[in-house]
Amino acid sequence: MQTKLLPIILLISVTTLLTACTESTISNPSNKKDTSIETKQQKNEVILPEPTLKNGDHGEEVKKLQTALEKVGYKLTISGAFDKKTTEAVKDFQAQQVKLPASGEYNKATKQWLEKALTGNFEVEPGKGSVPISNPKETVIVDNPSDILVLVNKSHALPSDYIPNDLIAPNVRFPFTQDLPKRYMREEAAHALEDLFKASDKAGLNLYAQSGYRSYNRQETLFTSYVARDGEEAANKYSARPGESEHQTGLTMDVTSPDINFNLNTDFADTDEGKWVKAHAHEYGFIIRYPEDKVALTKYQYEPWHLRYVGKKVATVIHEEDIILEKYLGAL
């Protein structure tokens, strides 16, 4: 009797085991599938708002932005108000990616890089973004005079004793033969200028370099003479006070053309050389520092001849965005 029941018992046991395995498979998917679902949920918990947002905005979209910034390390109150701290966080984030002007405004490009930061494809170090002091009431002395992106203007001055330690004379044409200080530039900028001149030569142009490095003392002498002639207010529209001249950085070169007798004036913009420089200078790391339509922002007259070296990547962003260095650095 027991012998006849054994196959039946075995059959029931096997059936029970198969049923248990099937139920286990359904109720407990593989670890890989669990991980995929969990990762997807983690990504979806931070939803970035659609551009654009700026200081003064309020609402749920601002909360989304603040949540995302907090997720990548910024200490913010999720208030829904695009306040000063939010602006500073956005500026700091933007300043860490060379392709982003540190405007403090959340836009399409910022969203793309914030997405990369959230997924670990862009490393962010909150506080690392070097955003200059914005609109100081008094002129401040910069603490990074040798930085390629040093900001020098009417409120950010170089130390009076600053002299670049890598000045060389670029191998380009000058309308004079003397070995004067204004022949010189910092080495990186000098080599970039050589490349720019080679390209202009291939384009059949006749570009000349006129004035590069200028010491603090030389600028003081020049500015004093201009003030004596025109008064300080008028002089400061076309000449910088000592310490506030980009020429002292060694990153600037004024360029000219035989068509205007090697002068430095706005007629340069109408020459073939001037038109080419405006269109192509950024390809070699230079920007036209004082554009015609940005006089109200730069506080200096239009100078189509004044080239400032900032590096190819930054120059390209400034050219394509049609902004000035202050806007790129977040100092407006």
What digits encode the pLDDT tens for the residues 170-219?
999 999 999 999 999 999 999 999 999 999 999 999 999 999 999 999 99
Residue 37 pLDDT > 50, yes or no? no
Helices 272-280 and 187-202, packing angle to 10 deg = 120
Model confidence at 134, pLDDT cuts 50, 70, 90, reads low
In a shared domain, residues 319 and 178: yes
In a shared domain, residues 62 and 209: no
Range with the lowest mean pLDDT among 42-51, 149-158, 246-255? 42-51
User: Does residue 109 belong to any structural domain of this protein?
Assistant: yes
pLDDT for 306 equals 98
Model confidence at 130, pLDDT cuts 50, 70, 90, reads low
CATH number at residue 203: 3.30.1380.10
Model confidence at 116, pLDDT cuts 50, 70, 90, reads very high
H or E segment at 197?
helix 187-202
In a shared domain, residues 286 and 196: yes
> What average pLDDT does the segment 304-328 reach?
97
pLDDT for 230 equals 92
User: Does residue 300 belong to any structural domain of this protein?
Assistant: yes
User: Does residue 230 belong to any structural domain of this protein?
Assistant: yes
Taking a C-beta distance cutoff of 8 angstroms, is the pair 210, 247 a contact?
no
As a three-state string, the secondary structure of 90-122 is HHHHHHCCCCCCCCCCECHHHHHHHHHHHCCCC
Give the chain's end-to-end CA distance (angstroms, integer).
Answer: 98
In a shared domain, residues 102 and 214: no
Cα separation, 290 vs 295, in Å, equals 7
> What average pLDDT does the segment 222-249 reach?
93
> What average pLDDT does the segment 226-248 reach?
92
pLDDT for 324 equals 97
For 175: left if phi > 0, alpha if psi spans -120 to 50, otherwise beta; the answer is alpha
CATH number at residue 77: 1.10.101.10
In a shared domain, residues 214 and 322: yes
Residue 1 pLDDT > 50, yes or no? no
Domain range enclosing 216: 140-329
Proportion of the chain above pLDDT 90, given as a percent: 72
In a shared domain, residues 82 and 163: no
Residue 10 pLDDT > 50, yes or no? no
pLDDT for 139 equals 87
Peptide bond into 110 cis (omega under 30): no
User: Does residue 38 belong to any structural domain of this protein?
Assistant: no
Q: Which of 220, 172, 190, 170 is nearest to 286 (CA)?
A: 190
Residue 136 pLDDT > 80, yes or no? no
User: Does residue 4 belong to any structural domain of this protein?
Assistant: no
In a shared domain, residues 68 and 110: yes
C-alpha distances in Å from residue 196, one per residue of 74, 135, 281, 314 = 41, 33, 7, 16
Residue 43 pLDDT > 50, yes or no? no
> What average pLDDT does the segment 255-273 reach?
97
Of 86, 118, 150, the one marking the end of a domain is 118
In a shared domain, residues 170 and 287: yes
> What total number of domains does the chain contain?
2
Q: Which of 249, 245, 247, 254 is nearest to 300 (CA)?
A: 245
> What average pLDDT does the segment 40-54 reach?
72
What are the strands, taking DSSP E only, across the chain?
A: 140-141, 156-157, 167-168, 185-186, 208-211, 252-256, 286-290, 303-309
In a shared domain, residues 288 and 157: yes
In a shared domain, residues 200 and 260: yes
User: Does residue 18 belong to any structural domain of this protein?
Assistant: no
Model confidence at 45, pLDDT cuts 50, 70, 90, reads confident
Q: Tell me the pLDDT of the chain averaged across its residues.
A: 87
In a shared domain, residues 109 and 149: no
In a shared domain, residues 169 and 312: yes
Model confidence at 27, pLDDT cuts 50, 70, 90, reads very low
> What average pLDDT does the segment 231-255 reach?
94
